[in-house]
Amino acid sequence: METDKRVVLDSESEQRIIQLIRQGRQFEAVREVRKATRLGLAEAKRLADEIGDANPPVRDVFGTPGERAEAAAALAAVGEARAAGFVPIPGWFFPAVGLLVAGVMAVQAISPYWLGLPVLVLVVVAYVVVERTYARRVRRAGVAPRELTLRQQVVLAVPLALLWVAGELFDGRGGWVWLVVAGVAAVWTIGYGIVHNRRARASA
């Protein structure tokens, strides 16, 4: 099986790999093998050993100072590029969403319910404005910030859902319950946004 894989290496590649191994550039030699054969890393190291008669074997010296320096340089380049590409979700976004969520909840406090319809319409209009402003900002900047992952969305939404349930449970005590629930929901959303952006900035 190994012989078959070796056959796909042309003599030019083979010579280059031998030369790299003799120069002690094991990391690059393995890279050449993988480029030429599409083998997995472990098999590529074995094949590099076989071709270059490497002493000590490539698989034993993987992690030489040269390789580590190359990998460290690559990681440094990654860090710089990540920092250059990082754009936080705008600071106004989470407060705006918090107010929208609070608005929807506060509507429940209005009785009779049809009196709350204008507020609901206002919330919908505000949502459209927020969405369009966000999209315009992204278009202008040329960079769209990372969206929340599914897990992050769940973490944000579950307390809001629980607040809604609490509002329904204590609805009988008066409209003020929904106002409290709306306030807590707004604070939670804004707080979540602050923490999210802080963590995103720290990991960039």
Partner 1 sequence: MTDTEQGFDTTIHAPNRLRICALLDAAERIEFGEVQERLGVSASVLSKHVGVLMAAGYVEQAKAVRDTRQRVWLSLTKAGRAAYRQHVAALRAIVGTPDG
Which residues are at the interface with partner 1 (CB under 8 A)?
27, 31, 34-35, 40-42, 45, 59, 62-63, 67-68, 71-72, 74-75, 77-87, 139, 141-147, 204
DSSP, collapsed to helix, strand or coil, labels residue 108 as coil
| C-beta closer to partner 1: residue 142 or 172 | 142
CB of 130 to partner 1, least distance (A): 17
Residues 156-160: contacts with CB within 8 Å, 24+ apart?
A: 156/189, 156/192, 159/188, 160/101, 160/185, 160/188, 160/189
| C-beta closer to partner 1: residue 8 or 77 | 77
CB of 17 to partner 1, least distance (A): 14
CB of 85 to partner 1, least distance (A): 4
| C-beta closer to partner 1: residue 82 or 198 | 82
As a dihedral over the C-alpha atoms of residue 6, residue 10, residue 11, residue 15, rounded to 10 degrees, the angle is: -80
Return d(Cα 140, Cα 137) in angstroms, integer.
5
CB of 69 to partner 1, least distance (A): 9
CB of 21 to partner 1, least distance (A): 17
| C-beta closer to partner 1: residue 6 or 34 | 34
| C-beta closer to partner 1: residue 10 or 80 | 80
| C-beta closer to partner 1: residue 27 or 178 | 27
Return d(Cα 130, Cα 70) in angstroms, integer.
45
Return the structure tokens found at 53: 């008669």
C-alpha distance from residue 178 to each of 1, 79, 98, 155, 173 (Å): 71, 46, 15, 22, 10
Is residue 27 within 8 A of residue 70, CB to CB? The reply is yes
Amino acid letter at 59? R
CB of 88 to partner 1, least distance (A): 10
